[in-house]
Amino acid sequence: MKNILEASFMAEMIRTATLMYNHGWDERNGGNISLMLDEKDTAEYLDPEKVIRTIPTGFKAPELEGKVFLVTGTGKYFKNVQIAPEVNLGIVRLRDQGQQADLLWGFADGGKFTSEFPAHMMSHVARLKTDPENRVVMHCHPANLLAMTYVHSLDEREFTRTLWQMCTECVVVFPDGVNVLPWMLCGTNEIGEATAEKMLTARLVVWSQHGIYGAGKDLDETFGLIETAEKAAEIYMKIAHLPRLNTITDEQMHLLEKRFGIQAREGYLD
Ligand code: 2HA
Ligand code: ZN
């Protein structure tokens, strides 16, 4: 077997967690990432027969039977992922309709996957229905998106339109917009189910007064998605208290739709 720390998916995961920490999105043990791996990704690095231990998940997701995920650990700090990946990350394979997770690598100090595992797994199920190429679910606490949930309406159309108006590229990067959940207790199956429901129609789901979830086909794309929304929120927080003299109009957004071959969410533009 080759050294798994040299696998490209591992290098990307470590680089992404480190960058997220450096962006200030993942203080302390904040945030979590799950990356679905294909068998061809892991074949050279992992013996699929060798199960270290089995961890109950506390939920059912029959759609994910046999699926393998590289995931961040509960209570672990993103800042430490690069220093001790084998302690802070793990690779699990789901079985028994998703109720059990066989640990194939990592969580070397006896740890387990993120407390937000239900939200991640349920979001994977939801996104795969909409986009069979989806592989990543990412959660973090970017300051400006969070700040916005204190001072802006949580209406999804209004929230999305404000973000779209903050940078020209926003409607192009997330034409499906941003869905928003009210404050809910985190780490539960309930917030997992609510997040997954929202993931059916958008790749970004804001958790009010907490953070954001993003989904995408790879780590770069998902990181970029959150990065773009957070940049827009930053501009909003810089200008929200000032008189707005100019904006990006709906007419201009329609020009962007044509130019980039995208379609803004139905009913979100006038
Ligand atoms: O523990 O971000 O939502 C990590 C979190 C919980
Ligand atoms: Zn969180």
The CATH number assigned to the domain holding 161 equals 3.40.225.10
> Would you give per-residue pLDDT tens digits along the chain (270 residues)?
999 999 999 999 999 999 999 999 999 999 999 999 998 999 999 999 999 999 999 999 999 999 999 999 999 999 999 999 999 999 999 999 999 999 999 999 999 999 999 999 999 999 999 999 999 999 999 999 999 999 999 999 999 999 999 999 999 999 999 999 999 999 999 999 999 999 999 999 999 999 999 999 999 999 999 999 999 999 999 999 999 999 999 999 999 999 999 999 999 999
Question: Is 111 a pocket residue for ligand 1 (Cβ < 6 Å)?
Answer: no
CA 207–ligand 2 middle distance (angstroms) = 9
Domain co-membership, 159 together with 250: yes
What b/e readout covers 1-13, taking b as 16+ CB neighbours within 10 angstroms?
eeebeebebbebb
Question: Is 116 a pocket residue for ligand 1 (Cβ < 6 Å)?
Answer: yes
Question: Is 262 a pocket residue for ligand 1 (Cβ < 6 Å)?
Answer: no
Query: Which ligand 1 atom is at minimum distance from the Cα of 141?
Result: 2
Q: How many domains does the chain have?
A: 2
Q: Which of 69, 88, 114 is the last residue of a domain?
A: 114
Domain co-membership, 110 together with 124: no
pLDDT at site 47: 96
Q: Which long-range contacts (CB under 8 A, 24 or more apart) does 8-16 make?
A: 9/35, 9/37, 9/41, 9/70, 10/70, 10/85, 10/89, 12/218, 12/219, 12/220, 13/70, 13/81, 13/85, 13/89, 13/219, 14/81, 14/82, 14/85, 14/89, 16/138, 16/219, 16/220, 16/223
Q: Which of 94, 114, 134 is the last residue of a domain?
A: 114
Q: Which of 91, 114, 137 is the last residue of a domain?
A: 114
DSSP letter string over 86-98?
HHHEEEEEEETTT
pLDDT at site 163: 99
Domain co-membership, 210 together with 192: yes
pLDDT at site 231: 98
Sheet with 136-140: list strands edge to edge.
Answer: 53-56, 100-106, 89-95, 68-72, 32-37, 136-140, 211-216, 204-207, 178-181
What pTM did the predictor assign? 0.98
Domain co-membership, 73 together with 150: no
What b/e readout covers 115-139, taking b as 16+ CB neighbours within 10 angstroms?
ebbbbbbbbbbbbbeeeeebbbbbb
Domain co-membership, 147 together with 192: yes
pLDDT at site 115: 97
Q: Is there a catalytic annotation at residue 116?
A: yes
Domain co-membership, 122 together with 110: no
| Cβ proximity of 263 and 269 under 8 Å | no
Domain co-membership, 30 together with 49: yes
Q: Where in the sequence is the domain holding 87, given as residue range(s)?
A: 1-114
Ligand nearest to the CA of 211: 2
| Cβ proximity of 204 and 229 under 8 Å | yes
Q: What span, in angstroms and rounded, lies between the C-alpha atoms of 109 and 127?
A: 32
Domain co-membership, 68 together with 96: yes
Which structure tokens are listed for 69?
Answer: 């995920």
pLDDT at site 130: 96
Question: Is 30 a pocket residue for ligand 1 (Cβ < 6 Å)?
Answer: yes
Residue 198's region, left for phi above 0, alpha for psi from -120 to 50, else beta, is alpha
pLDDT at site 270: 97
Domain co-membership, 182 together with 221: yes
